[in-house]
Amino acid sequence: MPFSCRSLLLVKGQVLGISDYEQCVTACENVIWQFERLQVVYAVLSSPNLNPNHPEVEKMMEVMLEITPESINDYLAENQRQFLTFVKNVYEEQFKL
């Protein structure tokens, strides 16, 4: 989904006055940030012009190596949990469950 569409959906929820909406926005922004971070890693690694022997590239690669599947999964799981809690609360409020 393009960035502009995601932003419009986030604004729409705020305009509708959904309770605890900031929790949803934060969780969504964190998931989007994680996705965009992985896109950058892919773009760097797939570049045909990458010089792995350059000192700046070596530093950048060290930083990228700190991104582990476990850290990605933990980060996404926590934000998914926050988002699902938000959705559950909204449904309970709307449908008086």
Domain boundaries, the chain: 3-95
User: Percent of the chain at pLDDT above 70?
Assistant: 92
Distances (CA, A) of 84 to 2, 73, 93: 22, 16, 14
Whether the per-residue pLDDT at 60 is higher than 70: the answer is yes
> What is the mean predicted confidence (pLDDT) over 25-40?
87
Give the per-residue pLDDT at 6. Answer: 66
Cα separation of 34 and 31, whole Å?
5
Q: Name the average pLDDT for the chain.
A: 84
- pLDDT confidence bin for 4, thresholds 50/70/90: low
* Side-chain-side CA neighbours of residue 61 (13 Å): 11
Whether the per-residue pLDDT at 83 is higher than 70: the answer is yes
